[in-house]
Structure 1
Amino acid sequence: MKNRTSTLLIDDIPIAITRRKMKSLRLRVCPQKGDVKVSAPHFVARGDIHAFVVKNLDWVRSQRAEIANREVVPVRLMQTGDSIPLLGQTFRLHVEGGVSRPSLKCLADNQLLMRLPVSAGLVEQQQLIDTWYRDQLKLAVPPLLERYEPIMGVAVKQWGIKKMKTRWGSCNITARRIWLNLDLASKPAQCLEYVVVHELAHLLESGHTPRFWAIVDKTMPTWRAANLILNPRSRK
């Protein structure tokens, strides 16, 4: 059965409902804009979804208020002395200007040397960091696949890295292809490990069913700590 989407309006708050193959209701408030989303099994009545949201409405309001009241931080260029996170490590940035071609080089003792033309801005800086992150993930992912594929009895035909706004990973079961969010490079290594296990588990169970979570739990018993880092506002 295909996923179906609809919208429910409660106290002027639009609730995006996605019907999935799963066993229980899941409510979350997206940290970017405060969008409220519910994942629901196909068999759950719309009235039961309404009651579920109403029961958690105070929590929804508090999360949305927190997001709305965030202080707007002025955008500034990366500077020497800034910390750049990578899979649980911290790298110290050194910025030099006046070159013709931008570059980023990893030095000893977790130091990063960023060299930029005078006209370069934050976009060029972020592109350098993103390229570095991508290269580091390309090194970190294969050992995880080599470790967990035989344990779980699955095999990925293709995997890739891309920026995703609302997901940490995705899995195309038919193509046996998984995608990993580039931003995982800035998180602790256990988060990347969890997302790899999570997506591999989808090759065995497509939905977030009790069987799916049992597979994840058996494969990586410490997954909840990583999930809390990645999805602090999720209620499962």
Structure 2
Amino acid sequence: MTKAITSALSNVDITFKPIKHLYLRIERDSGRVKISAPKGTKMRAIETFLREKSHWILQKQRAARKRRASNQPPPGSIKLWGEQVRLQIERGKKRAVTQDPPDVLRITLLPGDDEIQQEQVLDQYYRDELSQKIKQLAPHWEHTLKVSANEYRVKKMRTRWGSCNIPKQRIWLNLWLAEKPIEQLELVLVHELVHLIEPGHGGRFQAIMTQHMPDWRDRDKALNLR
């Protein structure tokens, strides 16, 4: 391989599975290469496969770098519901977060806290914000779609904005949706609820989405242009 290609493929995760063919995926945010390979596949075969796909891989990794650069808020600030918010770090006797004025997020940390505790406090704030918005949006959409989720949960996800466990009627939403405009959270929420009606993404799924959220494709495009 050329030097550029070798460098681009330096971080490759290979998982051997009971499958028949090699599969390739690029993590949207990190640009990391993920390979699923049949058990017993020789490394030489995997290297050849990567070499054949190298041009496509480089394109995807360049796009990932551009997204990260364009979405990165200035130092000392975060994004909350699509708006840039300045962080103000203070020290006190109790960890807390307040947003006052609206464009400033005051995080109070204990005197001995470091960046790890700061991230944990911010993650919890995102989680609380997201849970509150879900409680506001879910009843309307459950009534509109005539479905009911048993549970909504929030977690960090690297490759999905949401997922739906249909047998358990449990919906997971990505913590990072708290950075996005609320209409994009609403899109993912509706998307997962529609899966309680139609498991796949085919014509019936798309028709239901269009019927109840005519601009869903525009919202989806905006969400994934990050």
Confirm or deny a common fold (TM above 0.5): yes
Structure 1 outlier segments of 4+, above 6 Å: 68-72
Distance 1:206 1:105, change over 3 A: same
> Which of 8, 11, 15 does residue 24 from structure 2 map onto?
15
Q: Which amino acid aligns with 1:32?
A: S
211-220 vs 114-123, greater mean Cα deviation = 114-123
Match of 2:33 in 1: 35
173-182 vs 119-128, greater mean Cα deviation = 119-128
Structure with the largest fraction of helix: 2
168-177 vs 86-95, greater mean Cα deviation = 86-95
Q: Which amino acid aligns with 1:92?
A: R
Q: Which amino acid aligns with 1:89?
A: E
For 1:178-197, list aligned pairs within 5 A. Answer: 178-197=171-190
Q: How many angstroms apart in 1 are the aligned matches of 2:145 and 2:137?
A: 12
Match of 2:88 in 1: 94
Q: How many angstroms apart in 2 are the aligned matches of 1:70 and 1:185?
A: 18
Distance 1:210 1:35, change over 3 A: farther
In the TM superposition, what whole-angstrom CA distance separates every residue of 1:76-107 from its partner, at most 9, and x where no partner exists?
Answer: xx97xx3332212333321123x344322222
Match of 1:208 in 2: 201
Aligned-residue offset at 1:181: 0.8
For 1:1-236, list aligned pairs within 5 A. Answer: 6=19, 8=21, 15=24, 30-35=28-33, 58-67=55-64, 82-97=76-91, 99-232=92-225
Distance 1:226 1:70, change over 3 A: closer
In the TM superposition, what whole-angstrom CA distance separates every residue of 1:143-193 from its partner, at most 9, and x where no partner exists?
Answer: 211221122121112111111121111111111111111110011111100
Aligned-residue offset at 1:203: 0.4
Distance 1:34 1:5, change over 3 A: farther
SS at 1:175 equivalent: coil
User: What's the TM-score once normalised by structure 1's chain length?
Assistant: 0.68
Distance 1:178 1:126, change over 3 A: same
Say if 2:154 and 2:173, in contact at 8 Å, map to a contact too.
yes
Q: How many angstroms apart in 1 are the aligned matches of 2:79 and 2:65?
A: 26
User: What's the TM-score once normalised by structure 2's chain length?
Assistant: 0.71
Aligned-residue offset at 1:108: 3.4
Q: How many angstroms apart in 1 are the aligned matches of 2:190 and 2:67?
A: 33
Distance 1:29 1:135, change over 3 A: closer
Q: How many angstroms apart in 2 are the aligned matches of 1:186 and 1:220?
A: 21
How high is the sequence identity, in percent, across the aligned residues? 35
Aligned-residue offset at 1:195: 0.3
Unaligned runs of 5+ in 1: 17-27, 39-53, 73-77
SS at 2:152 equivalent: strand
